[in-house]
């Protein structure tokens, strides 16, 4: 079963899927700080038009890999999904290592934040549940925080079955190496936006 912003969906109803999109991005808190230039409704209308065009092209599902630290907006995604009939799967997790607050949290605490605060109960007060766990690496490679986030994502996956999507930087192969901390028999993971030359050796990893 796939978890979309509208709720559970049978896998055979996914259809043609865009695996890595950022439907809407903004700095967290921007619309509260600068309400006079908040054009959310205008952006939503534009997005509805573009998603209807995607539907006409045969797209039926979109994985939105936008996390809280780059302006994830589950209510926006729900309104867009309802207007376009395209399934949207949103994310928990974080983008690169731009999350210094997590440096003071233990791996177990972060896992609980992913599971209790998001996967099980929904995002914020929206009740909308994420269908994937997003983790990413930047040009700096794996920092201590990044290692911690990957291990927490693996544990959250093991406890809930929620798939992982990872956005590798230039050292992308290390993404899978670090996810092996999970000791999962079957780790469901999608690697997207590979910022590395693709070789047969890497593709067979």
pLDDT digits (tens, 9 = 90+) for 137-170: 766 767 788 888 888 888 898 899 999 888 776 6
Distance CA 177, CA 59 (A): 32
Q: What pLDDT band is residue 37 in, cutting at 50, 70 and 90?
A: confident
Distance CA 161, CA 67 (A): 19
In this prediction, residue 61 carries a pLDDT of: 98
Q: How far is CA 178 from CA 31, 101, 172, in A?
A: 36, 21, 10
Average model confidence (pLDDT) across the chain: 82
Distance CA 66, CA 200 (A): 29
- What are the φ and ψ backbone dihedral angles of 73, each rounded to 5 degrees? -135, 90
pLDDT digits (tens, 9 = 90+) for 187-205: 566 666 555 555 545 445 4
Q: What pLDDT band is residue 179 in, cutting at 50, 70 and 90?
A: low
Please give the CATH number for the structural domain made up of 2-203.
3.20.20.140
Residue 41 Cα to chain centre, angstroms: 23
In this prediction, residue 34 carries a pLDDT of: 78
Q: What pLDDT band is residue 22 in, cutting at 50, 70 and 90?
A: very high
Residues contacting 175, CB < 8 A, separation 6+: 135, 137, 150, 166, 168, 191
Distance CA 122, CA 138 (A): 27
Which pTM was predicted?
A: 0.84
Residue 186: exposure state from Cβ atoms within 10 A (0-12, 13-18, ≥19): exposed
User: Helix 40-56 crosses helix 74-84 at what angle (to 10 degrees)?
Assistant: 40
User: Helix 144-160 crosses helix 107-114 at what angle (to 10 degrees)?
Assistant: 50
> What helix, strand, coil percent values describe the chain, rounded to 5?
45, 20, 35
Token output for 49: 């038009």
Distance CA 136, CA 105 (A): 18
What whole-number percentage of the chain has pLDDT above 90? 42
Domain extent listing, the chain: 2-203
pLDDT digits (tens, 9 = 90+) for 89-142: 999 988 865 566 777 889 899 898 888 778 999 998 999 999 999 988 766 767
């Amino acid at each position: 079963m796939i978890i979309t912003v509208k709720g559970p969906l049978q896998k055979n109803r996914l259809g043609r899927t865009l695996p890595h999109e950022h439907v809407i991005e903004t700095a967290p808190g921007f619309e509260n700080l600068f309400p006079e230039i908040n054009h959310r409704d205008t952006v939503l209308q534009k997005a509805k038009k573009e998603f209807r065009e995607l539907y006409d092209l045969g797209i039926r599902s979109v994985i939105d890999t936008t996390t809280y630290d780059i302006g994830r907006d589950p209510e926006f995604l729900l309104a867009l999904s309802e207007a376009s009939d395209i399934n949207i799967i949103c994310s928990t997790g974080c983008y690169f290592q731009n999350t210094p607050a997590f440096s003071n949290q233990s791996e177990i605490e972060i896992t609980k934040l992913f599971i209790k605060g998001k996967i099980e109960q929904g995002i914020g007060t929206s009740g909308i549940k994420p269908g994937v766990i997003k983790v990413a690496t930047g040009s700096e490679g794996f920092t201590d925080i990044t290692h911690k986030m990957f291990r927490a994502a693996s544990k959250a996956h093991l406890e809930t079955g929620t798939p992982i999507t990872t956005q590798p930087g230039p050292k992308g192969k290390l993404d899978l190496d670090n996810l092996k901390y999970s000791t999962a028999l079957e780790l469901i993971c999608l690697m997207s936006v590979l910022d590395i030359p693709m070789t047969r050796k890497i593709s067979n990893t």
